[in-house]
Structure 1
Amino acid sequence: MASQADRVIAVLRAGHDDLTAKVAAFTADDLAKPSGASDWDVSQVLSHLGSGAEINLAILESGIAGSTPPDGDFNKGVWAKWDNATRQERADWVVTANEALVRRFEALDAEERESVRITYAWMPAPVDVAAAGTMRLNEFALHAWDVAVAFETAATVDAAAASLLLGQAAHMFGWLAKPEQLDGKTATLAVEITDVPETFGLTLGPEIALAAAPADPDGTLRLPAETWLRLVTGRLKPEFTPASVKLDGPLSLDDLRRVFPGF
């Protein structure tokens, strides 16, 4: 039976192969197009993915070896290299860098996928391979959408990735959510994920939090898993919002967009 680490690594591979095929067809004009990430062109998103792959690989290798992970100076050096690269170099390098990271995950045997612990400077404790892979998948899937939406406004986050990432949102609310944008409004919404399916509560007030499905919600938000992920990461502008999204109650989608402005 496939473990959680197995499932995450398989989706990382599928996502990499899909992005590689897209990048191979990009022209110079394509790489200069505005992406779904504010203030970044397509090549800059690829730069972020590529530098992230190099840094994540170094962190993963330190976890496998049981050694100290690279420090901030290492990260700064990686970022500087990618920042100073041409658009075409970023497109070429991202394929190589992300392939190396995915292959290293794939090379872990079943015992390593259970036993290896990876240390991140911003995490309170080391995490297992499934968690490390999920964090990378969160970054990869959302930024792959940033690339895809430059060419197709109806682009969606990969469905397999979205189903694995549903539980990540709650961990990001501390820095994603902006409760001050509610201007004193409060509400508890039932969030119905229409394609998994799953239902939970979203409490909106001085603190933004997920909760158990409320018995008597103030309103209901119905949307697919990938659309939920895009909402809470600031990727659900009106022009990118599918007609399947439904919200009733005291708040509007624009209210939620202000609460979740993205990064």
Structure 2
Amino acid sequence: MTSPDTVITALRTGHDSLAAAVSSFGGDELARPSGSAEWDVSEVLSHLGSGAEIARATLRAALDGDPAPGRDFMQSVWDRWNAMTREQRADGFARSSQALTELYESLGPGTRTSLRIDLGFLPEPVDVATAGRMRLSELTLHAWDVRVAFDEHATLAPEATRELLHGAPDLLGWAAKPERLKGEHAVVHVTTTEPASEFALRLGERISVDFDVAGEADGTLLLPAESWLRLVAGRLAPRHTPGSVATTGAADLDLLRHVFPGY
């Protein structure tokens, strides 16, 4: 199980890196199309800033023993951020993300182990490592959305990739669109580098990953771990795909991009 300490450290690194980059952005940079098809750079930062504000309120409620913030609170946060100018979104992201990161860092060793956090959309409260990892996923992928606006070869942060590669909760089934397989079934043997891992991607009515790779696969997929994370998050378009990615058999990248359209 991943330590909450390493997740929180990765959150700090991710925040500091993106906040430093954003601090130099002017109106033109904030208006550029991002890696998220429907948002400009400022809208990505709005999503990250409002998400940090909601996540901080949720963590604060767990610490205080209060109910998790409800939908009305979330909507009020989104409405306020949507009304901001591009520059206000950038400044607000830096403050809001910093505040959330500091609250995670303030948790003592016992709290990091024992606290359970009601996120409001999962069947039961989760531990600090899981809640932190979900924020780390959001921060890491959307930081890529910002960076790819300026560098089409941008990659995910290595420290975040290590934490997210096989972290709970498993959102693969939520992100995938199995109906796009049109009844086809396949098992793909996936091998990642940096970090190294091997696992089976099972494509069918339900899409899942497991570590039972002993059986014969219908195809193979070799790629950097960060590219795997971008693939299942809908962020591995051909122009953003490293030349080191190799496939055989049923591991057709166009099909996989279709099954994992992004979010």
Q: In structure 1, what residue type is equivalent to 2:217?
A: P
Residues in 2 aligned to 1:18 and 1:8: alpha-carbon distance in whole angstroms: 15
RMSD: 1.3
Residues in 2 aligned to 1:17 and 1:218: alpha-carbon distance in whole angstroms: 42
Matched residue pairs, number?
261
C-alpha deviation, 1:251, in angstroms: 4.0
Corresponding position of 1:179? 178
Q: What TM-score do you get using the length of structure 2 for normalisation?
A: 0.96
Residues in 1 aligned to 2:87 and 2:6: alpha-carbon distance in whole angstroms: 32
1:94-109 equivalences under 5 Å are: 94-109=93-108
Indicate if the aligned counterparts of 2:187 and 2:218 stay in contact, CA closer than 8 A: yes
Corresponding position of 1:20? 19
1:108-147 equivalences under 5 Å are: 108-147=107-146
Indicate if the aligned counterparts of 1:169 and 1:232 stay in contact, CA closer than 8 A: no
1:176-215 equivalences under 5 Å are: 176-211=175-210, 212-215=212-215
C-alpha deviation, 1:49, in angstroms: 0.1
> CA deviation digits over 1:117-152, x for unaligned, max 9?
111111111111111101110111000100010000
Residues in 2 aligned to 1:216 and 1:203: alpha-carbon distance in whole angstroms: 12
Q: In structure 1, what residue type is equivalent to 2:34?
A: S
C-alpha deviation, 1:175, in angstroms: 2.2
Q: Which moved more, 1:180-189 or 1:236-245?
A: 180-189
1:74-113 equivalences under 5 Å are: 74-113=73-112
Residues in 2 aligned to 1:131 and 1:168: alpha-carbon distance in whole angstroms: 8
C-alpha deviation, 1:213, in angstroms: 1.7
> CA deviation digits over 1:46-90, x for unaligned, max 9?
000000000000000011111111111000000000000000000
1:217-236 equivalences under 5 Å are: 217-236=217-236
Corresponding position of 1:50? 49
Residues in 1 aligned to 2:214 and 2:34: alpha-carbon distance in whole angstroms: 37
Corresponding position of 1:240? 240
Residues in 2 aligned to 1:178 and 1:209: alpha-carbon distance in whole angstroms: 12
1:151-170 equivalences under 5 Å are: 151-168=150-167
Corresponding position of 1:253? 253
Residues in 2 aligned to 1:251 and 1:68: alpha-carbon distance in whole angstroms: 45
Q: In structure 1, what residue type is equivalent to 2:94?
A: V
Q: In structure 2, what residue type is equivalent to 1:175?
A: W
Q: Which moved more, 1:168-177 or 1:228-237?
A: 168-177
Give the 4+ runs in structure 1 shifted more than 3 A: none
Paired residue secondary structure (1:97): helix
Residues in 1 aligned to 2:167 and 2:43: alpha-carbon distance in whole angstroms: 24
C-alpha deviation, 1:174, in angstroms: 2.5
Structure 2 runs not aligned, ≥5 long? none
Indicate if the aligned counterparts of 2:152 and 2:239 stay in contact, CA closer than 8 A: yes
Q: In structure 2, what residue type is equivalent to 1:176?
A: A
Indicate if the aligned counterparts of 1:190 and 1:220 stay in contact, CA closer than 8 A: yes
Paired residue secondary structure (1:167): coil
C-alpha deviation, 1:214, in angstroms: 3.8
Residues in 2 aligned to 1:193 and 1:245: alpha-carbon distance in whole angstroms: 10
Residues in 2 aligned to 1:35 and 1:161: alpha-carbon distance in whole angstroms: 20
Q: Which moved more, 1:167-176 or 1:34-43?
A: 167-176
Q: What TM-score do you get using the length of structure 1 for normalisation?
A: 0.96
C-alpha deviation, 1:170, in angstroms: 7.2
Q: Which moved more, 1:222-231 or 1:247-256?
A: 247-256
Q: In structure 2, what residue type is equivalent to 1:196?
A: P
Indicate if the aligned counterparts of 2:237 and 2:257 stay in contact, CA closer than 8 A: yes
C-alpha deviation, 1:173, in angstroms: 2.4
Structure 1 runs not aligned, ≥5 long? none
Residues in 2 aligned to 1:130 and 1:114: alpha-carbon distance in whole angstroms: 8
